[in-house]
Amino acid sequence: MKYIEKRIKEYLLPEKIVDCSPNVIGKERLFYNRFFQKVVENKEVCTVKGKGFIVLDFGREYYGGARISFNRNSYTGNTPYLRVRFGESLEECYAEIGEKNAGNDHSTRDLTVYMSSNSDMEWGNTGYRFIRIDFLLDEEYRLNNIFGTFIHGDEPIATFRSDDQRLDDIFSTAARTLFLCKQGYIWDGIKRDQLVWMGDMFPEVLGMLYLYGDCDDIRNSLDFITDSYAMPCWYNQIPSYNIWYMLTVNEYVKQTGNFVEKYAAAVKENLKLFLSCVKGEQLDILSAGLSLWTDEFFDWPSFKSKDAGFAVRALLVYTVRKIISAKLFDDETLSLAEEISSRLKDIGDSCKNFKSIEALKILIGKDGSGESLKYVLSGGAEGYSTFLSYFISKALCENGYGKEAFLNNLEYYGGMLDMGATTFWESFDLKKSRGAARIDEFANGRKSVHGDFGEECYEGFRHSLCHGWSCGVIPYIVEEIIGFYHPDGDVNKVAFRPRLWGLKFAECKIPVKGGVISVRHEDVGGVIKTEISLPDGMEYIK
């Protein structure tokens, strides 16, 4: 058996040298020496005379590593004499292991290696923008080239453009994030985690559907989870991840029309499992007697809080209602979902500490007093979640606050852009980040937006700055601004409910079953005019 790599590898020249020791001679040659083959006794080399270092900036985030090409060096032994450090931020590539939680978890981004004279080697498979190379011995190093390597699949099909450059940059940055995380499977992050976490995949899959349509990476990831876990069990030992699986499969079938029998069978088995845990009007996950890490995990910010258990139960209610309303599965599956919905009355209450959880409470109709809506509206984009921004936007849009959702997304995701983001992050606290150093700056006494924030699994430099779950802004833009939807759940029909919120125009290409839709909405004197191009077989419902 063999695996044939289908991804593309590119070799990148650095955009600039951030810093280097004084003994780096001819550093400008690293920008124009374009030989991809080693040249014996090449005269156009960059020379490092003794111990020193160089820090390269490749301009934006990539997944890959460093390719180093040597000419004849003075050292002939085999002692490790190079240290290579990758950084998603400038300060990360300077940090020692353990400093502000810098580490090698999931991908080795700080390594010490040996390379012989005239060798050409590649090091690292991680997320990076910056590469620092330390020359560890008092010898002469002669460098032909240092390339950044870039490994990726296909570029997104979807495009978006409007008269608001900020909004365009947000869409393209979110699209680039998913593009980098699309590595045959849908990875959570390209530095950390490089894993298929079922609990994180919903915003990723939804974004992928709007960027690529029904692509192999989505099916590979759903196949991976479905085939790796024999029911009954908790996916990744976390019960909420089984709920996310059902919600993701429901959305996948709804958007593509591709009914996969084994996914449907797994949804049915999951509903049976959760129904067995409904005791009276309450959900008792521990009663299933299955191995688990914790029964009340919703997301990292709410971990160990009083809100976590409520959020898991609310997510289950939200999911079974989505399954019931979509009517995509057989009668037995729908009956199981209806039984859970009717019996699960006592899900407790939330404490108004997390906008994402209050948004979910609103979406399932549990905000009778309106206090949750007031809480979500307070402070604009402060308290938003990269993972769950889509739910916050949906809760606002469905309750008459679409303009606020529009402005909050500009503020929140634009806040990451202001901090130097070229891909969107695992987490971002808009309030705490004010006054912090950008990811392409030295802190110099300020807080580092990368190294000095974060909590739980993403504290400090362990924090991933290219995380696929952060891309809920893509479905928000497609669904709420472009207003795209399939009427009556028919993937062969398309309709639009555009809401431009002051934009003069917005245009988008959206992959669908059978091809690509091109649509342009333009505000002409307060009236939205729509131009549309459809693939053959697609019906436009006005």
Q: Write down the pLDDT at residue 42.
A: 74
Q: Write down the pLDDT at residue 348.
A: 94
Task: Report the sign of the C-alpha dihedral through residues 278, 284, 285, 286, in that order.
Answer: negative
Question: Which distant-in-sequence residues (6+ apart) come within 8 Å of 488 by Cβ?
Answer: none
For residue 417, the surrounding DSSP H or E stretch is helix 402-418
DSSP state of 511: E
Q: What is the pLDDT of residues 33-72, one digit of tens each?
A: 666 777 777 778 999 999 999 999 999 999 999 999 999 8
Rg (CA), the chain: 25
With residues binned 3-state (H G I as helix, E B as strand, rest as coil), the percentages for the chain, rounded to 5, are 35, 20, 40
Q: Write down the pLDDT at residue 33.
A: 65
Low-confidence ranges of the chain (pLDDT < 70): 33-35
Residue found by looking up tokens 């971990």 in the block: 303
Query: For 228, left (φ over 0), alpha (ψ -120 to 50), or beta?
Result: alpha
Instruction: Dig out the tokens for 495 from the structure.
Output: 């309709």
- Residues 389/476, Cβ–Cβ less than 8 Å: yes
Q: Whole-angstrom Cα distance, residue 529 to residue 520?
A: 8
Q: Write down the pLDDT at residue 303.
A: 95
How many CB atoms within 10 Å of residue 80?
A: 12
Q: Write down the pLDDT at residue 43.
A: 77
* 3-state SS record for 262-286: HHHHHHHHHHHHHHHCEECCEECHH
CATH fourth-level superfamily of 8-152: Galactose-binding domain-like (2.60.120.260)
pTM: 0.97
Q: What is the pLDDT of residues 231-283, one digit of tens each?
A: 999 999 999 999 999 999 999 999 999 999 999 999 999 999 999 999 999 99
Q: What is the pLDDT of residues 488-498, one digit of tens each?
A: 999 999 999 99
Instruction: Dig out the tokens for 385 from the structure.
Output: 């979640």
Q: Write down the pLDDT at residue 79.
A: 84
> Which residues make up the CATH 2.60.120.260 domain(s) of the chain?
8-152
What are 539's strand-pairing partners? 493
- Residues 25/46, Cβ–Cβ less than 8 Å: yes
Q: Whole-angstrom Cα distance, residue 286 to residue 280?
A: 15
Q: Write down the pLDDT at residue 77.
A: 84
Closest CA relative to residue 263, chosen from 303, 220, 294, 233: 220
- Give the number of residues written for the chain: 542
Strand order in the sheet with 484-485: 484-485, 493-496, 539-540
